[in-house]
Structure formats: C-alpha cells, structure tokens
Amino acid sequence: MSLYQVNKLLRDINLSAELAQRCRTAPEAVLPQYALTPEEQEAIKSWQVRKLYDMGANPFLLLVYSMATGKDMRAYVKAMNQLS
C-alpha cells in the first residue's frame, strides 16, 4: 500500500496551483514523481475519487484536491457517491 504517497500527492496539489495545473494538463509527467501503484495512478488520472476513498485516501484531501483541479462541489459529491 502506498496511500501515504496518494495523500502526499493530493496535499501537494492543494498547496501548489502550479502542480494542480500540471496535474490537469500533463498528469503523465506528474504521477511518476510519486511512488504510486498502477491502480492508484489510474484512479487519480481518471478522477475516481470514490475508488481512492475506498482505498483509504483521506476524504478531506480528496475534496480539496478536486477543488484545486477545477471540479465543483456538486460533481464531487456525485462522484463520491458512485460506488467504485
């Protein structure tokens, strides 16, 4: 399990608008900088927040990372309630 790395990425994105922008436009350049499993990489790339939550990612970080990457609250709540 590398959830530490997932949470770290989510946190870094929340603290850096520049990283948030790069994660939106070129995730393939950002994600290899974190020790993520292929499943985690895919879940982040395709914004599967419910899956990340079920895997154990921190929910507060999932929300703020989503906001930082341009998602709105309505879309977030909908995605979080779609079972992975």
Which residue in the set 43, 58, 70, 75 belongs to the binding site for another protein (CB under 8 A)?
A: 58
Question: Which H or E run includes 17?
Answer: helix 17-25
- Residue 82 DSSP class: S
34 binds another protein (CB under 8 A): no
Decide whether 31 or 80 has the Cβ nearer to another protein.
Answer: 80
**DSSP string for 21-74:** HHHHH-HHHHGGGS---HHHHHHHHTT-HHHHHHHT--HHHHHHHHHHTT--HH
Minimum gap (Å) between residue 36 Cβ and another protein:
15
Which residue in the set 42, 59, 72, 84 belongs to the binding site for another protein (CB under 8 A)?
A: 59
Decide whether 8 or 45 has the Cβ nearer to another protein.
Answer: 8
